[in-house]
Each structure stands twice: as structure tokens, then as C-alpha cells.
Amino acid sequence: MISTLKILQEITTGYSIFEKDQVLTESQLNSITNYLNDQTRLTSIYLLGVGVVSGLRVSLSSDAIAVTKGIGITTDGDLLYYSNDIVCDRFTLYDKSYPKYAPFYLTSEGSKEEMIAVYELIPKGVTDSRNPVFPLSQFATETSKDLNNMVAVLLMESYVNDPDVCTGTDCDNLGQDCVNTRKLLLVEKDSINLLLKPAIATPDVAFNAFNEIVAERPLIGSSITSVSALADVYRTVCSNIHGNVVTELSKIYVNCAAFLTDVFLSNPTTEWVTRLTEIQSSFTTNNRGIQYYYDFLKDIVETYNQYRDLLFGDNTWCCPDINWFPKHLLLGNLVGNSDSEPDNNRTAFYPSPAISQTVESLNHAKFLVRKLDTLIKTFQIPAVSAAANSIRITPSLFEDQPLEERAIPYYYQVNLQQANPIHKSWNYHLSQRRMDNRNYSYNAPNYMVQGAAANPLASQIGKFSFFRCEGYLGEKVETALSKIESEIKSKNLPFTVRSVFLGQDKTKIVKRPGTRYSDLHRFHYLLRQDAYHQLEEVTQFSREFKKKVDENVTGESNAQSLKDLATQSNGTVTQNAVAVGEKLNRSYRDYKADQSWKPNFLATITAASEFKFNISPVVKTEFTTPFDSLISNTRILWLDWLDEIIQKKDEAEDEKLLFASFVSQNPGIEHFAGVVRGGTLVLVYDNNNTVVADFMLPYYHEDKVEEAPVEPTLPKPSTRPEIIINRGIRVLPSLDKRLFDFKGVLEPELTKKFTLQEKYFDIYKGFVDVSTGIFTAAGNIKPQKYADAVLDVQIREVEIEQEKVALLKQRATSSDGRTVERAIQAEVELAQSLLAIAEYIGASNISVATGSEGSKAMQVVSDISVTISQGKPLETLRTGLKLILRDYRTNQQLTAIVESILRRLG
């Protein structure tokens, strides 16, 4: 049996060099042919690749099998191709009469070889065949097999043919022929394993052996109230990630050794697992820096996942094994080429690294696996540093960008003696360009950094969406805040920083210097300014009051006593008012620090009250004085209420600075070892005021604490004339001097009024009408209603005049002209009497407050005014009321009533 010829089974490494007149032998000539043939084939498989390059797709119809044009290369360097689509409509048995191809044979007991069922497809128009040919439509009938269960195989049938035949007259050697014939064959799926070798160790095959690692998130809840509780959350998550990392990293060298031998001389798995276990053990009881341990595991996970992704689809095969598929290519199943898996049982193309489009991805993957090794070996939480520049802010990118494009974290130590120091193993593209020392990093000064990374915050930062903040772990929170805020201000950085206490004791909260200044404080300042100016008026009024007492109290028996009281009271009022004013006219912080103004204020009110009360025998109050305003002022009492409101508000804000409350208010909090542009860096500190963790909010969190601004000086309002301050009170002779002589003054006036009343009675007697029964007798005079005798008489007079007007108007319905004139004149007199009441109330400063006699009297004036007729009576009333408004405009209550009457009169 002729065996299939494998050209590269033995590779010719040399060839003969001919000399002049040399006798050539067949071996010398064949050495050239064999060498060139071997080199051509080696070039094809090592520099181009092996497998189906393109085309050669098979499809099955009812009575034919079609193969598209295409090309492929076997591992023996044979070029198999169809330059045009072909259609095969017949088949024949491909049996042992054909050259033996080892993958078609099974080895049974006794080393007896048995050939699997193989069928050759005959293209249309081809007739050459050793065995009987049948139409494809009879395939099932003739073979008892199903075409749908067959796989197409393209075979290069290579063998050596020796045509030497000796005759009786000639036995010359005719030489041998090397025959290479392309065959399209069918093999059952169940037998295809003989044509398949174990999976080729390409990066794509390795990809399928790995699983993606998912880094769990530590969920930060509002129930965390201690450092240990926070660490336990991270410890649990890190333990889960650690287990997945160890499992997947252990697969790397086993599945990737074929293309990682230039990276690792031996399997690094044991060293990796040992180091990872040591790191995990160091955080079993240690809480310091556990967030960075979590970050480290995330770095491992991200690097591993990126490494795995770069392997996908990479079928690069360096130096293919010539025994893999030396003479055949699998073209796939006869059916299923249009389904979801068209490449089942089809030899893929494995390009050489020289032409592979994924060679850069493979180089990047090799870089990342070296990076994994470096990350594991260089991870270390730095010790607390007392250096002034231990806290550093480094521009970086957020986690939506690849890890290698971000800044190197400070927990990777720079070891220039190491084969692959961290800065050389961090960024693939910078490494390719030999620009490793341009990586941004906290530790950049340790590897002679160059470019913008040497002074990152002095260079353009527009492209950076994230800022790593490091070096404050273990630092006092006040110091850390101060340094970071100073850096933010001096470098114009686009984020802010806050601090929260990890505990429940609010007394341990480190409060920022300053005040949570708000509109409440501004209102508080406004009230204090109001009181300050009011006290100035009180002081001014007190001096004027004393001066008036000194000038006007001269003839009384107790004049000197009154002057002494005035001097004493003025001194007390002035001293305490000035003291209160000074203590109120300060910043809120100073005001809160000194609450001693209250006794002075009480002393001021007391002294002002006693001042006016003690001098009351010689005092007449024209309108409300600064003393009265101060005594009745309740606005200053609002200060205590506002202080309580502000304190409650501050306590609520303090509550928000507890970690649990802060998380409840800001559930988006998460640790990233820095902060995004426009976000908030949150430093977390413990009972010792030491920073133990950090978090980030992706938005600006306003700091309520700020220095109280310098409040503007509020000038005294200019709308209050001096007359209101200084002339609201008059000092007159004492009461015994001012009492009227009843016989000389009051009695004649009263006699005059009662005489007038008697005259009115006489008028009523003349107007008695039997039909109406109207009659008013002197005995019907009502008892006195008003304590003020003059006012009482005036009210009675008005009521009598009103009755008179009514009687005259009743008589005026006749044609008596004199009666009409008398009625009009009586109504004019009624209007004048109403004006006299209002004038008396204003001149005597009688109170018209609700319920007072003055109020009742003005109500009578108002009720009777609306009965005044048009014409001269109404005009008289209006004119008089306007004069009262002019003369007594400082009496706001009286003027309000008069204005109301005018509005009713129209």
C-alpha cells in the first residue's frame, strides 16, 4: 500500500553546490529541489500561517454539494484551493486502494489497521475514478448513511509513483514521479476525531479557559458606627474577591505557557498565591488601610480581565506543528453552515505572528501579565509620614478609563532594583515609547519623573476627570483638612473636601473654625442693630429729660429731690444703655461668648421706668417716648429665641457629621481613593481624630461652616426726626400748682354748659307735639357716663343738639322758611360740637385706645357725623376734621379715627 507523502517529515537543511566539469548524481540534484521545496513550505506555514484562509464553504442541496472558491494551507505546507466555485453531483468510495493517510485509519487489536468510511465527491464534468460512481441522490441508498451527518474534508493526496517497468529488451530506470492530487472527501461526524488534534494553544483557546472576575462592592450602610464595623464590610468583600483571584490566576500559566515562555521562565502561580495569601492575612485583624487592600484587589481584577479580553479572537500560532493537519483541511458540516455555528468541524486559520492583526494585542497581554506580577510584588501600605508634603493630589482618570491610563496609586512601592518596577509595568503605550518616567503617581519623585508628571498640578489638568488624594491615612483630620484645602485654593482645584466622624458621640466631632452663618444670623444682627440704635435714642432722651427737669422744676417744695432722682436715673440709664449697646454691636461669635448684656438691659429698663415714674408729678407725655418704646419693646426678647433656633439648627447639622447620618443623607458615597471633578472628598476620622478612611461624593456637598462675614454698619434711620426723641415729654409745674381753681375756672365753665343745657330744654318745651308725644324734661337728664367731667358734658351737649336738629328738621317740612334756616344753623352747631370733642381729646392727650373713654367718645362723634346733611354743616365738619389731622398728626391713634370718619363722609 502506498503511503501519503509528508514533505516536511524530514527537512532538508542543505544542498549541493556544483563545480565545473562535475559529474552530477541524483542526490545532488534532488538536494536543491528538496531544500527549495522545504523552504517554500516553511515560509508558508511559519511566516503566513496554516488553516483555511478564506472561502471553501460547503453547502448541501437536494442532489449536489457546492464548495465556494477559497484557499487554505496545511501544516505540511500544501496549498489547497479552488479558484472557482465547484459543484459535486456524484460520489465514490475512497478506500484502501488510494494512498494511505494515517488519520483515516484505526488501529485495532493485533495492530490490524482498519480504515474509516471515506467518500470522494466527484465534481461535475470529471470522469476519472477508480471505483464505481453514484449520484448523490443515491448516497443514503448506497452507503446507508445520512448526508446530513457528514463533514467535508479537503485532502492533498501526495505520494511517490515509480513507473519503472523492465521489458525483455530494456530495463532503463525511468525515475519516480511525486504526485499531488486535490481530493474533496466526506467523513462521518463520529469519525472526525481522527482528523482533529487537541486544541491548539492559541490565546483565543486560553480565553475560553478563563472566567471573568467580578469585583464586589462594599455596601456602606447607615448602621456602620465604628472603624471595626467599616473594616468588616471591606474584609468580607475582599475575602470573596481574593478567592476568585487566586482561582483564576492559577490558570494563567497552565493555559498560556505556549505564548508566555518569553515572559516567565517558570510557573509563577505559587509565588503569586503565597504573596496574595500573606497580604490577606495581614488584614485579618489590621483595619488600617483596608480600603487600599480592596483597591489593590480591584487593580488585580481589572488587569486580569483586560488581559483575558485581549486574548479573545487571537488565533496566532507561532511555529505550527507539522503533524497537526499535514495533508487535510476540514471544511465543516454539510448542514449548519447558515446556522449560529457555521464553523463547527472547520479548520480555522492560524496566522503567523508576522502577519497577525492581533499581534499587538498579544504583546499588550504579555505586558499585562508582567504587570500582574509587579502589582502583587510591590503592594504595600505606606507608613504614616510626618513630612510636610506627605499629602499629595495627583490628576488622574476615573474608573471608566483603563487602569493603566490612570495615575499609579501610592500603595505600590517603587523599587528600581526590581526587574520590572511599577512605573515600567504600568502603562503599555508609554512603555512601548520608553516614556515610563512620565507616568503620574504619588511616588513619581522616586523614579526621576519627567514632563508634566513632575509637577502635575502646575500643568494643564483639563483632560483629567479624577484626582487621587493620598498620604493622609493616619494623619490628624484637622491637619489633613488644612493641607488639602490649602492645596485646593492655591492650585485652583475643582473639588471640595469634608470630614465626618465615625462614631456616635457628637462631642467627638471635630468642628471647623467659623460659624454656620445663615439668614438667621443676619436677622439676629438686624435685631441687635435695632436695639443698639434704640438704646442710643434712650440715652439721648434721658439726657434731655434730665435737662428739662433741671430747667423747669424750680418752685416746688420737692424740686431738689426730683432733680436728684433725675440725675441718678439718668446716670443709671446712660451707663447701662451704653454697656448693652456695646455688647450687642459685635459679631455673632463675640455676642455668644459674652451674654452679660442681659443684666445691663434689665437695669436700663428698670431705671427708665423709675425715672419717668418718679418724675411723673411734673411730667406730661405728648406721645410715645424712647423710654416707652424701650419698655414696651419685645423684639429684643427674640434674640434668645433666635439663639435657641440657631443652636437647634447647629445640633442638627452636627448630627449630619456623624458617619451613619452622613451616609443616610448621601447614599451615593463610595471609596475611590480620590474624587471626581466637581465632587466632594470625604475624610472619615475616629475617636482619636485620626483619618481612617476616605470616600467620595460625585457632587459638591456644601460646607455649612464658614467665617462670619464683616457685617455692614447699619446707620441710624434718618426718618425719625429729633422731635420724636426729645419732645415727647414736657416738664410742668407740679400737680398741686396745675389743679384748676374750681370756683374760678371749672365752675363757671360748667355753669355755662348747664345754662346752655337749660336753654335747650326750653327749646324742647316749645316743640312738644301731642300727636308724637315727644317731650324731654329736665328730670330726665341721665347720670354722668364719663369720668372726665368736661368730656361728659360735651357728649351730653352733642346728644341734645342732635335731638334739636331732628326736631327742627321735622318742622322744616312745612313752608316756614325761618324753620329751615334754624335747622341748618342747628346742624352747623352740631358739627362744631363734634369738632370740639375731637379737639378736646387731642389737646388733652386723652387715650383713644380700644375700650377707653376717648375711644367711646370718638365713636359717638363718628356715629353722629354720618347724620350731618350736605351743604354748610358737612363742609364745616370736614374742614374742622382736616385741621385736627394737621394739629395732632403725632397722635397716630386719633388721626387714624379722624381719617376713618373723613372716609365715611366721602
CB atoms within 10 A of CB 832: 15
- The pLDDT assigned to 769 comes to 42
**Cα–Cα nearest to 264, from 253, 254, 275, 255:** 253
378 vs 441: CA distance, rounded Å: 14
Residue 437 DSSP class = G
195 vs 830: CA distance, rounded Å: 136
Residue 696 DSSP class = E
- Angle at which helices 252-260 and 269-282 cross, to 10°: 140
Residue 575 identity (one-letter amino acid): Q
**Cα–Cα nearest to 690, from 388, 479, 381:** 479
Residue 586 DSSP class = S
- pLDDT means per 10 residues, the chain with 906 residues, are 83 84 81 88 92 93 90 95 94 91 78 86 83 90 91 92 61 71 93 86 92 95 92 96 96 92 91 96 93 97 96 91 92 68 84 90 95 95 75 95 95 87 94 93 91 93 95 93 94 95 90 76 90 88 85 75 86 91 87 88 88 79 81 87 89 88 94 96 95 96 72 70 66 52 48 53 44 40 72 86 83 65 85 88 86 87 85 86 86 87 83
Where residue 10 falls (left for φ over 0; alpha for ψ -120 to 50; beta otherwise) is: beta
Cα dist from 724 to 149, 538, 631, whole Å: 116, 12, 16
| Residue 286 phi, psi dihedral angles, 5° rounding | -90, 125
DSSP 481-548: HHHHHHHHHHHT-S-EEEEEESSS-GGG--PPSSB---HHHHHHHHHHHHHHHHHHHHHHHHHHHHHH
Are 630 and 604 spatial neighbours (Cβ–Cβ below 8 Å)?
Answer: yes
| Residue 751 phi, psi dihedral angles, 5° rounding | -60, -40
Are 665 and 704 spatial neighbours (Cβ–Cβ below 8 Å)?
Answer: no
134 vs 140: CA distance, rounded Å: 11
| Residue 739 phi, psi dihedral angles, 5° rounding | -65, 130
Are 35 and 14 spatial neighbours (Cβ–Cβ below 8 Å)?
Answer: yes
449 vs 436: CA distance, rounded Å: 8
- Grid coordinates representing 23? 559529474
Look up the pTM and report it: 0.70
**Residue carrying the nine cell digits 459535486:** 88
- The pLDDT assigned to 802 comes to 86
Give me the long-range contacts of 486-493 (CB less than 8 A, separation at least 24): 487/391, 487/393, 487/457, 491/393, 491/457, 491/458, 493/393, 493/457, 493/467
867 vs 863: CA distance, rounded Å: 8
82: β partners: 70
